[in-house]
């Protein structure tokens, strides 16, 4: 476990009969970050959150919170929202938090502070049934904040919300993180992860594909499309060119995936020096969405 990690996951595996939901997943969550667990439905995100919250038992591997604090003690420092919020429609926001605090064994003396954190203090006496979907989700996040946790764990926190509600929750997540809370979010929405997260792990059918800082993992890939009369000679020459990450045959062309900073003129200059005249040269920008779909499909 790295010194700055608030959570360390090592080779976590989980099966449901013949279905392997997680396959040796390992990564660290740095303290103070917003960490996104990204993947399509069925990738193992919810299963992983269930394991690190001690709701599910892994078949293999291990995890550590806060450098090795025992599970009972660590759970007191973690707030979570894994399901659709379940509150009493006829009770006020303030009274609903009292019920939640009692069920979870947490004190309810910080109800006003929590409602202030999620922007609902002025509606503390309003019945839950009068709240918009975004307000209901904010109250659920408020319930997760009871007891002053160091970490919040959310599963699809914007699921089912309209654009205004999604924007509200995103802003709230960023605000809570600025207040020093580490936040872990599972989502299938690339846009959500890109806009709020500092770090990301991408899962596909239980396998960890990539993980690290968002600005390193989720970067737009530049691709260069090239063609020459001597395609075999072109391919051989480009295999030795610095900055070419991957080369793919694409119909009549070669598609080059390049390091950041490699432009078409670099490729052209290199080919000229190798005695190859290009008959086609074009830059193709691959969007983040295209990269994500390529990884997960």
CATH number of the domain encompassing residue 273: 3.30.70.980
- State whether 8 and 71 are in the same domain: yes
Residues 140 and 283 in one domain: no
Domain boundary among 106, 122, 145: 145
Shared-domain flag, residues 10 and 68: yes
- Tokens standing for 121? 């203090």
Position 221 scores a pLDDT of: 66
Q: Indicate the residue among 96, 121, 145 that finishes a domain.
A: 145
CA distance 80 to 45: 14
Which has more pLDDT, 249 or 151? 151
Domain shared by 209 and 250, yes or no: no
**Containing structural domain, residue 262:** 221-296
Residue 57: pLDDT above 80?
yes
* Mean of pLDDT values over 133-144: 93
Please determine, for residue 289, whether its predicted confidence score (pLDDT) is greater than 80: no
| pLDDT (0 to 100) of residue 293 | 73
Say what the pTM is. 0.79
Based on the domain organization, do 236 and 96 belong to the same domain? no
Token pair 């005695």 is found at 275
Mean pLDDT of 273-288: 83
Domain count of the fold of the chain: 3
**3 pLDDT higher than 60:** no
Report the largest interatomic distance among the alpha carbons of the chain, rounded to a whole angstrom. Answer: 79
Give the pLDDT band (50/70/90) at residue 251.
Answer: confident
User: Higher-confidence residue: 134 or 104?
Assistant: 134
Q: Is 1's pLDDT higher than 60? A: no
Identify whether residues 159 and 228 lie together within a single domain.
no
What pLDDT score was predicted for residue 283?
Answer: 82
Same domain, 9 and 126: no
pLDDT in tens, 139-192: 999 999 999 999 999 999 998 888 888 999 999 999 999 999 999 999 988 888
Domain boundary pick from 98, 129, 145: 145
Same domain, yes or no, for 190 and 68? Answer: yes
Q: Are residues 159 and 263 in the same domain?
A: no
Label each residue of the chain as H, E or C.
CCCCEEEEEEEEEEEECCEEEEEEEEEEEECCCEEEEECCCCCCHHHHHHHHCCCCCCCEEEEEECCCCCHHHHHCCEEEECCCCCCCCCCEHHHHHHHHHHHHCCCCCCHHHHHHHCCCHHHCCCEHHHCCHHHHHHHHHHHHHCCCCCEEEEECCCCCCCHHHHHHHHHHHHHHHHCCCEEEEEECCHHHHHHHCCEEEEEECCEEEEEEEHHHHCCCEEEEEEEECCHHHHHHHHCCCCCEEEEEEECCEEEEEECCCCCHHHHHHHHHHCCCCEEEEEEEEECHHHHHHHHHC
Is residue 260's pLDDT more than 70?
Answer: yes
Same domain (yes/no): 65, 180: yes
Q: Region 88-113: what's the mean pLDDT?
A: 89
What CATH number has the domain bearing residue 49? Answer: 3.40.50.300
Query: 196-238, pLDDT tens digit by residue?
Result: 999 999 999 999 998 999 888 876 666 889 999 999 999 999 9
| pLDDT number for residue 286 | 61
Same domain for 195 and 126, yes or no, is no
Whether the per-residue pLDDT at 288 is higher than 70: the answer is no
**188 and 116 share one domain:** no
Over residues 51-61, the mean pLDDT reads: 94
């Amino acid at each position: 476990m790295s010194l700055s990690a608030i959570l360390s996951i090592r080779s976590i595996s989980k099966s449901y009969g013949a279905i392997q939901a997680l396959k040796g997943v390992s990564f660290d969550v740095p303290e103070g970050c917003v960490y996104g667990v990204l993947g399509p439905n069925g990738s193992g995100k919810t299963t992983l959150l269930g394991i690190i919250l001690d709701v599910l038992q892994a078949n293999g591997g291990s995890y550590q919170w806060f450098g090795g604090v025992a599970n009972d003690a660590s759970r007191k420092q973690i707030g979570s929202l894994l399901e659709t919020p379940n509150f009493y429609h006829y009770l006020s926001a303030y009274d609903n938090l009292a019920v939640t605090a009692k069920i979870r064994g947490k004190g309810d003396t910080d109800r006003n502070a929590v409602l202030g954190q999620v922007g609902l203090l002025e509606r503390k006496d309003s019945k839950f049934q009068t709240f918009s979907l975004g307000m209901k989700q904010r109250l659920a996040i408020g319930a997760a904040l009871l007891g002053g946790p160091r970490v919040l764990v959310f599963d699809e926190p914007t699921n089912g919300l309209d654009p205004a509600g999604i924007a509200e929750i995103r802003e709230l997540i960023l605000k809570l993180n600025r207040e020093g809370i580490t936040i872990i979010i599972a989502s299938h929405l690339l846009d959500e992860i890109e806009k709020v997260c500092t770090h990301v792990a991408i899962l596909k059918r239980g396998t960890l594909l990539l993980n690290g800082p968002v600005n390193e993992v989720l970067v737009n890939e530049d691709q260069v499309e090239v063609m020459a009369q001597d395609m075999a000679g072109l391919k051989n020459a480009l295999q030795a060119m610095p900055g070419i990450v991957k080369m793919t045959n694409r119909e009549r062309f070669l598609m080059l995936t390049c390091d950041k900073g490699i432009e078409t003129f670099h490729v052209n200059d290199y080919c000229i020096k190798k005695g190859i005249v290009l008959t086609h040269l074009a830059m193709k920008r691959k969007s983040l969405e295209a990269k994500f779909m390529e990884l997960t499909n």
